[in-house]
């Protein structure tokens, strides 16, 4: 954690909302990235980010400077996302529309360009057969780019569990991608 | 290098942005068509995963910051309400406690229901088997299935005790027994009958009028 972050957090811990606002501005995109990748929906992700920062504010005095602020934040965002997802899944059945990659395959563009809706659908599609644990490990490690140690800290799991879940998650995601590509090729 | 090992190395490319193929793998790909084809397929998949690794677009970040700070302001102003109503953990805990209580009630009530139904069936079977000629017993008179039968001097059961001395506590169970035993005159006979069926120990009754 950088020195200026430490100062800002110290001020926020003493109740300075202006300093907390600086933290929000600085880290809301990171929080949004994680919430979006777990929930695969922009509006839900925004709600979760808001709820998470309220929790962070309420518990900022309990924050232990011994761990990275982002790790602590990711932990709260992950738990809030899981709670949100459980509550939402009770309200409505989740419908997954298969993403159409045909145009992207035909295009010579070296990089595919997805909007948020397409990205969300594709993440949902490739992770739909994963267990909750596998999905969280995959999102944190392979999509958020967190180190295995940080994933352990965020999810409160051992390194062995992380590695095992990541192995199965990658295997399943690869199979899904293969299926998507073989389907798209038939339709090109 | 074996094809299987090469494919494992190529697999890493799909998910790890920083991973690159080592020289040994590259040389293998030059001479192995099958592995090269696999490499091409994985490269396509890599394009998709690298797209998923890009940050999603956060529309109107200033609005989100404002909303967050407003939510914090509201939370500070209504700490009691927040604690009471927005604490999902408390709500979940209460829900679980209620569910557990329901299960316990069903089990307790079910056991008592079974005991009563079983004992009442024995009582009914026994009473129907006994001769009606004995004026002191007159067992068939004791068993009336319709609790709605209008009988003067309605009998109300105070307490029913099983052979194991366990008392029937619920009113609904007592009502069921009451539907069978309605004749005030046969108090003693009822208790003799109960002992004979091997189900009940004693029924204490009082006249509600």
H or E segment to which residue A129 belongs: none
Q: CB-based contact (8 Å) between A153 and chain B? A: no
Nearest to A112 by CA among A51, A177, A44, A45: A177
8 Å CB contact of B58 and A28? yes
Q: Which of B11, B61, B71 is opposite residue A174, by nearest beta carbon?
A: B11
Q: CB-based contact (8 Å) between A15 and chain B? A: no
Contacts of A113 in chain B (CB under 8 A): 51
Q: Where are the domains of chain A?
A: 1-93, 95-188
8 Å CB contact of A54 and B59? no
Q: What is the CATH number assigned to the segment(s) A1-93? A: 1.10.1740.10
Q: CB-based contact (8 Å) between A143 and chain B? A: yes
Q: CB-based contact (8 Å) between B11 and chain A? A: yes
Angle, helix A148-155 to helix A159-187, in steps of 10 degrees = 110
pLDDT at B88: 67
What is each CA distance from A142 to A91, A107, A157, A168, B58, in whole angstroms?
30, 26, 17, 13, 20
Residues of chain B falling short of pLDDT 70:
17-19, 79-88, 116, 119-209
Contacts of A53 in chain B (CB under 8 A): 68, 71-72
Of the residues A174, A175, A184, the best mutation for testing chain B's interface (the one with the most B CB atoms within 10 Å of its CB) is: A174
Tokens of B78: 């209504």
Contacts of A79 in chain B (CB under 8 A): none
Q: What is the pLDDT tens value at each position of chain A, 188 positions in all?
A: 555 888 999 999 999 999 999 999 999 999 999 999 999 999 999 999 999 999 999 999 999 988 999 999 999 999 999 999 988 876 655 555 666 666 665 555 555 567 888 889 889 989 989 999 999 999 999 999 999 999 999 999 999 999 999 999 999 999 998 888 776 665 55
8 Å CB contact of B15 and A170? yes
Distance (Å, rounded) from C-alpha B174 to C-alpha B196?
Answer: 20
What chain A residue is nearest to B38 in terms of C-alpha separation?
A: A178
pLDDT at B134: 44
Topology match between the domains A1-93 and A95-188 = no
The sign of the CA dihedral A68, A73, A78, A83 is positive
Q: How many CB atoms lie within 10 A of CB B8?
A: 11
List the beta bridge partners of residue B157: B205
pLDDT at A33: 96
ipTM: 0.83
pLDDT at B171: 54
The sign of the CA dihedral A150, A151, A152, A154 is positive
pLDDT at B77: 81
8 Å CB contact of A42 and B59? yes
Q: Which of A29, A42, A123 is opposite residue B55, by nearest beta carbon?
A: A29
CATH class of A95-188: mainly alpha
Distance (Å, rounded) from C-alpha A96 to C-alpha A117?
Answer: 11
pLDDT at B9: 87
SS3 B57: coil
Could you say which DSSP state residue A142 is in? I
Is there a contact between A63 and A9 (Cβ–Cβ < 8 Å)?
Answer: yes
């Amino acid at each position: 954690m950088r020195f200026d972050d430490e100062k800002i957090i110290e001020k926020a811990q003493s109740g300075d909302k202006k300093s907390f606002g600086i933290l929000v501005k600085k880290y809301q995109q990171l929080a949004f990235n994680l919430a979006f990748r777990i929930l695969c929906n922009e509006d839900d992700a925004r709600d979760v980010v808001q709820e998470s920062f309220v929790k962070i504010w309420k518990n900022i005095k309990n924050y232990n400077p011994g761990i990275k602020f982002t790790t602590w934040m990711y932990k709260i965002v992950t738990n809030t996302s899981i709670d949100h997802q459980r509550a939402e899944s009770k309200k409505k059945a989740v419908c997954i529309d298969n993403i159409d990659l045909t145009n992207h395959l035909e295009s010579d563009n070296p990089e595919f360009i997805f909007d948020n809706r397409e990205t969300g659908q594709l993440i949902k599609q490739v992770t739909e057969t994963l267990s909750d644990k596998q999905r969280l490990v995959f999102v944190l490690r392979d999509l958020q780019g967190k180190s295995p140690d940080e994933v352990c800290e965020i999810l409160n799991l051992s390194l062995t569990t992380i590695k095992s879940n990541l192995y199965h998650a990658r295997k399943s995601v690869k199979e899904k991608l293969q299926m998507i590509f073989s389907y798209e090729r038939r339709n090109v | 290098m074996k094809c299987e090992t090469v494919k494992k190395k190529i697999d890493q490319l799909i998910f790890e942005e920083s991973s690159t193929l080592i020289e040994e793998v590259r040389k293998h790909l030059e001479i192995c068509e099958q592995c090269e084809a696999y490499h091409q397929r994985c490269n396509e998949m890599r394009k998709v995963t690298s797209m998923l690794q890009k940050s999603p677009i956060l529309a109107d970040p200033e609005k989100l910051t404002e909303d967050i700070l407003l939510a914090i302001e509201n939370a500070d102003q209504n700490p009691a309400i927040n604690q009471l109503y927005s604490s999902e953990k408390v709500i979940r805990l209460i829900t679980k406690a209620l569910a557990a209580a329901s299960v316990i009630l069903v089990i307790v009530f079910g056991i008592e229901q079974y005991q009563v139904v079983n004992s009442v069936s024995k009582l009914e079977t026994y009473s129907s088997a006994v001769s009606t000629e004995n004026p002191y017993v007159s067992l068939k008179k004791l068993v009336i299935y319709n609790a709605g039968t209008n009988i003067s001097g309605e009998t109300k059961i105070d307490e029913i005790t099983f052979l194991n001395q366990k008392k029937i506590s619920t009113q609904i169970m007592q009502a069921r027994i009451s539907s069978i035993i309605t004749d005030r005159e046969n108090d003693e006979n009822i208790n003799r009958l109960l002992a004979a069926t091997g189900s009940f120990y004693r029924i204490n009754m009082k006249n509600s009028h």
